[in-house]
């Protein structure tokens, strides 16, 4: 059974797995020579033009897996050595051009970039501004507009090409959703890994005697390790050295409660659960920032509960998000979440330690309610707020689930113009929600069914007990 969707994920996994093994031995000697040779043994190249290029790219992947460029605040980076195989973007005339005599393409061009040569359209690239009008005007669909996959995947226009035709990320626009990481077919864009820092946290805990290390797991995890049960994954986390495993869905229950209260006060609210959605509003719709919920994300709420009773504890969040790797390093979050590990990295961690989670016994996990668990899918928060807000006397909630940044843009534009029919805006940067996060092992529609089942299995059908726990901690402050 394939553990990943793509070969790119497999290569990333191999790099991280070997780094973990080296870290366990405290031996990083010749890693930039040995690991590339292990992954690309040769003598013939299997993926690139030559074995030397393959190994050079692996070397850059090692750097990214060891924390990447420290001067770059973004957790998303371009691997320059891997970014050179995509054709250039642009408007092109294909062989479907019929040489018609109306010349709609030529007439539609605002820059006179199209001429007719031997009855066929020819585009002068020095004049073309790639507006696409000729493409729309052509009755035969003979003109196409090609975009690099990374550019096409980025819904905020943060990716462009430099003078060497390498991808460049504009950090002022980027919301760290990671769509480009998953969509680049050459793996030329990657996320920084902090796995070595996580290993240090676990090692320095001295088997949880110096301090306790907690794993907070995103509810989307139930759709990922398909060859094992979630209860076996929990047992595996204990074997890795975690003291206890807590559901982020517990924090989601509390976030839902707080957002219901805030909605009653404000009347219009955008959710705070997806860091990329919050960044999207802050960077691209700053005039709507007043509507962003002041509640922290479920990840942070769960960690706050842990650290209230165990202030010296360390908390590692495990999930599918590149943006969580940005969130935990924000000044307002520092000291609450100590690090973030992706599902891809967790799989490498299990395998580096030779832990077969499918053979492990079950460890029960039941921290949260149905509503907290379904936060993982698009529409989950909206479903929860409808019920919880009504129970609190706010029956006028009109929620909309914005599935992906394109839907977010449409609905935020309406809110900005004062023409929205909705007053509660659930934003998910990833289409489908967290179940299709960039750092998932698997992506697809079946993941939602897994989350629905996981939610239905929750013993708690309301958020009441989670709220009681939250109130108890508040009373002790």
**pLDDT tens-digit profile of 404-456?**
999 999 999 999 999 999 999 999 999 999 999 999 998 877 788 888 888 88
Identify the pLDDT of residue 457: 87
Identify the pLDDT of residue 87: 72
**pLDDT tens-digit profile of 220-269?**
999 899 899 999 999 999 999 999 999 999 999 999 999 999 999 999 99
**pLDDT tens-digit profile of 60-105?**
999 999 999 999 999 999 999 999 877 766 899 999 999 999 999 9
Tokens describing residue 289 = 């920032």
Strands of 17-165, DSSP E? 76-78, 90-93, 114-117, 120-123, 143-146, 159-161
Cα–Cα distance measured from residue 230 to residue 219, given in angstroms and rounded to the nearest whole number: 10
169 CB burial (10 A radius; 0-12, 13-18, 19+): buried
**pLDDT tens-digit profile of 102-143?**
999 999 999 999 999 999 999 998 899 888 899 999 999 999
pTM, 2 dp:
0.90
Identify the pLDDT of residue 1: 63
Instruction: Map residue 79 onto helix, strand or coil.
Output: coil
Q: What is the 3-state secondary structure (H, E, C) of 316-378?
A: EEEECCCHHHHHCCCCCCECCECEEEEHHHHHHHHHHCCCCHHHCCCCCCCCCEHHHHHHHEC
pLDDT category, 477, cuts 50, 70, 90?
A: low
Cα–Cα distance measured from residue 298 to residue 275, given in angstroms and rounded to the nearest whole number: 11
Identify the pLDDT of residue 206: 97
Cα–Cα distance measured from residue 86 to residue 323, given in angstroms and rounded to the nearest whole number: 26
Helix (H) or strand (E) holding 476: none
Cα–Cα distance measured from residue 181 to residue 191, given in angstroms and rounded to the nearest whole number: 7
Cα–Cα distance measured from residue 278 to residue 412, given in angstroms and rounded to the nearest whole number: 12
Helix (H) or strand (E) holding 304: helix 298-309
47 CB burial (10 A radius; 0-12, 13-18, 19+): middle
How many CA atoms within 13 Å lie on the side-chain side of 116? 12
């Amino acid at each position: 059974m394939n553990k990943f969707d793509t070969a790119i994920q497999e290569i990333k996994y191999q790099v991280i797995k070997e780094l973990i093994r080296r870290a366990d031995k405290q031996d990083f000697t010749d890693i930039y020579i040995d690991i590339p040779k292990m992954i690309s043994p040769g003598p013939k190249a299997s993926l690139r033009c030559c074995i030397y290029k393959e190994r050079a790219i692996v070397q850059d992947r090692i750097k990214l897996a060891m924390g990447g460029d420290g001067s770059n605040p973004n957790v998303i980076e371009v691997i320059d050595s891997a970014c050179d195989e995509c054709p250039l973007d642009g408007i092109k005339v294909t062989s479907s051009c019929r040489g018609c005599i109306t010349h709609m393409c030529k007439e539609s061009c605002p820059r006179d970039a199209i001429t007719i040569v031997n009855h066929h359209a020819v585009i002068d690239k020095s004049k073309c501004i790639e507006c696409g009008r000729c493409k729309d005007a052509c009755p035969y669909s003979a003109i196409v507009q090609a975009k690099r996959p990374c550019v096409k995947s980025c819904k905020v226009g943060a990716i462009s090409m430099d003078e060497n035709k390498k991808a460049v990320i504009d950090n002022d626009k980027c919301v760290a959703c990671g769509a480009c990481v998953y969509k680049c077919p050459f793996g030329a864009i990657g996320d920084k890994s902090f796995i070595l820092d996580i290993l240090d946290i676990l090692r320095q805990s001295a088997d949880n005697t110096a301090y306790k290390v907690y794993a907070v797991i995103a509810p989307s995890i139930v759709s990922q390790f398909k060859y094992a049960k979630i209860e076996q994954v929990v047992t595996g986390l204990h074997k890795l050295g975690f003291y206890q495993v807590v559901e982020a869905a517990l924090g989601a229950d509390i976030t839902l409660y707080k957002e219901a209260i805030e909605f009653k006060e404000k009347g219009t609210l955008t959710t705070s659960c997806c860091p990329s959605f919050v960044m999207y509003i802050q960077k691209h719709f700053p005039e709507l920032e007043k509507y962003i919920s002041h509640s922290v994300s479920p990840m942070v709420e769960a960690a706050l509960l842990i650290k209230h009773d165990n202030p010296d504890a360390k908390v590692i969040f495990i999930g599918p998000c590149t943006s969580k790797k940005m969130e935990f390093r924000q000044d307002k979050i520092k000291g609450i979440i100590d690090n973030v590990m992706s599902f891809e990295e967790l799989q490498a961690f299990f395998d580096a330690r030779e832990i077969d989670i499918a053979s492990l016994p079950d460890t029960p996990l039941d921290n949260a309610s149905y509503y907290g668990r379904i936060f993982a899918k698009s529409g989950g928060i909206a479903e929860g707020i409808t019920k919880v807000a009504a129970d609190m006397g706010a029956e006028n909630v009109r929620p909309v689930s914005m599935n992906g940044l394109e839907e977010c843009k449409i609905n935020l534009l309406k809110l900005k113009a004062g023409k929205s029919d909705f007053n509660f805006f659930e934003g998910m940067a990833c289409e489908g929600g967290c179940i299709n996060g960039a750092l998932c092992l698997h992506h697809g529609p079946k993941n939602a069914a897994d989350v629905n089942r996981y939610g239905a299995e929750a013993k708690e059908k309301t958020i009441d007990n989670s709220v009681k726990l939250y109130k108890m901690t508040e009373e002790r402050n």
